[in-house]
Structure 1
Amino acid sequence: MSISLEKVHWASGGSLIVNGVTLDAAPGTTLGLLGPNGSGKSSLLRLICRIRKVQSGVITLGGEDIATLSQAQIAKSTAFVEQQATTEIQVSVLDVVKLGRTPHRSPISIWKSEDEAAVQDALTHVGMLDKASRFWHTLSGGEKQRVHIARALAQTPSQLLLDEPTNHLDIQHQLDILALVSRLPVTCIVALHDLNLAAMFCDNLAVMHAGEIVAFGPPEQVLTETLIRDVFGVSAHIERSSYHGRCHIQYKTA
């Protein structure tokens, strides 16, 4: 399914956080959402899954205005992976992933074969099936993030939103997580800080600055030395990587 935003605004505490955003994520593609801290990335993701309500403008999921949908209807098609979450409860990996089936079940419904299949498929996708019985608190940071993604996949979503999924992970797990996300057969919007990782794994990039989209398109068109200087405040040299063929940024120090 496609994700589309048309002139979306959202303010908080008298400040305009999302300012007239128009954006399209084509079905089955991975869109990287970039921008400095405070540019509105996380707020935009929360608006798309209606954790926050749009104050003006329209957001559609698969052509349907989210204002006409219930939160339960949205949850059946759209999964949201927030930044690293923690819990003190002694819970297993399997129990965490089972939570992804909540939008598809009533409080009194029995566990069905389709629920079990969705959970098993999700664990397999993220390479955590052999650790399903492990307790959450025994996992590494990268493993916990894989479980978060598995929980989202168990929702069997058509759209997947991820807010800084590689935050606080070492480089191996950053690469593993983004390679996994880019292979998923769903429409993804992923907020990232690392421009080189975004260039490697995303089909298109949208750059936010002060609540607005200031650039959109393929990485090689969006990531220019001028944009990096104007939006991120750093000087850089950009070349095409001989390894993966995407653009690669080398930052300059003063």
Structure 2
Amino acid sequence: MTLAARDVCWSAGGRMIVDGVTLRAEPGKILGLIGPNGSGKSSLLRLLCRLRKVASGVVTLDDREIGTLSRHHLARRLAFVEQQATTEIQLSVCDVVRLGRTPHRSALASWAAADEDAVEAALARVDMTDRHDQFWHTLSGGERQRVHIARALAQMPSELILDEPTNHLDIQHQLSILTLIRRLGITCIMALHDLNLASLFCDEIAVLHEGKLVDAGTPESVMTEALIQRVFGVAVAIRRAASGRRHIEYLIEPF
């Protein structure tokens, strides 16, 4: 089972935003999307989960074009966590997470113990159990993001798509959320800005620049000093940390 794009294009306002991208998420692995702002990462994620319709090319799930699949089927397979989500409705934290159970329930079905178990487990995994009854709009930006990740987990997807899941989070929660995602063991595609976090947590990296796929492969093969200089316009040195992991150091002039 896998999610893939082949020669996918999408434009807006007369400008090509996603330009002929081909990539494949390996089952059970994490594929990270990196690239400067405006490189097409968020747009590509929305094409992959059919929130936008491709202009050309094809997105497939298990080798079936996603346009031929029902919304209900997709919702039981794919969960999408946006970069930011807002609402003025007076919802509690548990109400938001319960929305993740919608694809698993018929219109007339009563709330079941299995649904409640899924919600409680999802809240526990993002360390938000103690906020169960708190109103969503009273949470900090980082806490809201964690609740929306919990909603996605309650959906029990086999493919998870995340747009900057660590936005607004402090470093402790960045690491805990990415560690959680890493341990899920499901197919995951996520956009990240932090190159070191992408290198640390992703099995493969796809680099986008001006809507085009520049390179894809393992972090070690793709995230080179030359590529980062070319795509991001910054000089870096890549070294081995004491832990043995690669660390990207940004080379800047002294202040």
TM-score interval, smaller chain: over 0.9
Distance of 2:14 and 2:228 partners within structure 1: 29
Displacement of 1:144? 1.9
Could you tell me which residue of structure 2 aligns to residue 48 of structure 1? 48
1:172 Cα deviation after fit: 1.8
In 2, are the aligned partners of 1:50 and 1:71 still within 8 Å (CA)? no
Which residue in the other structure is 1:94 paired with?
A: 94
**Hey, what's the Cα distance between the residues in 1 that align with 2:123 and 2:169?**
20
Aligned counterpart, 2:60:
60
1:7-27, CA deviations, whole angstroms, 9 ceiling, x for partnerless residues?
Answer: 111111211111111101111
Q: Structure 2, unaligned stretches of length 5 or more?
A: none
Contact 1:199 1:246 in 2 (8 A): no
Question: Segments of 4+ in structure 1 off by > 3 A?
Answer: none
Q: How many residues align?
A: 253
Q: Report deviation, 1:139.
A: 2.8
**Shift in Å, 1:220:** 1.1
Secondary structure at 2:207 match in 1: strand
Determine if the alignment matches structure 1 residue 117 to structure 2 residue 117: yes
Given residue 120 of structure 1, which amino acid in structure 2 is its aligned partner? E
- In structure 1, the partner of 2:248 is 249
User: In 2, Cα distance between the equivalents of 1:78 and 1:212?
Assistant: 24
Measure the CA separation in 2 of the matches of 1:16 and 1:91: 38
CA RMSD of aligned residues (A): 1.5
Q: TM-score, normalising length from structure 2?
A: 0.94
> Distance between the aligned counterparts of 1:253 and 1:171, measured in 2?
22
Alignment partner of 1:29 is 2:29: yes
Give the corresponding residue for 1:74: 74
Residue 188 (structure 1) aligns with: 188
Most deviating of 60-69 and 74-83: 60-69
Deviation (angstroms), 1:41? 0.2
Structure 1 partner of 2:20: 20
**Contact (CA 8 Å) 1:92, 1:135: kept in 2 or not?**
yes
Tell me how far apart the structure 2 counterparts of residues 242 and 63 of structure 1 sit (CA, whole Å). Answer: 43
- CA displacement 1:82-126 (0-9 Å, x = unmatched): 012233333211111000111222333211233223222222222
**2:218 aligned residue:** 218
Q: Which amino acid aligns with 2:206?
A: A
Question: 1-side partners of 2:241 and 2:179: how far apart?
Answer: 17
Q: How far apart are the structure 2 equivalents of 1:68 and 1:90?
A: 36
Identity level (%)? 63
Moved more, 19-28 or 171-180: 171-180
Secondary structure in structure 2 of the residue aligned to 1:197? helix
Q: Where does the alignment leave 5 or more consecutive residues of structure 1 unmatched?
A: none
Q: Report the counterpart of residue 128 of structure 1 in structure 2.
A: 128
Q: Is the 1:219–1:247 contact (alpha carbons within 8 Å) kept by the matching residues of 2?
A: no
Matching of residues 93-242 of structure 1 within 5 Å = 93-242=93-242
Q: For residue 79 of structure 1, give the secondary structure of its aligned residue in structure 2.
A: strand
> How much does 1:75 deviate?
1.1
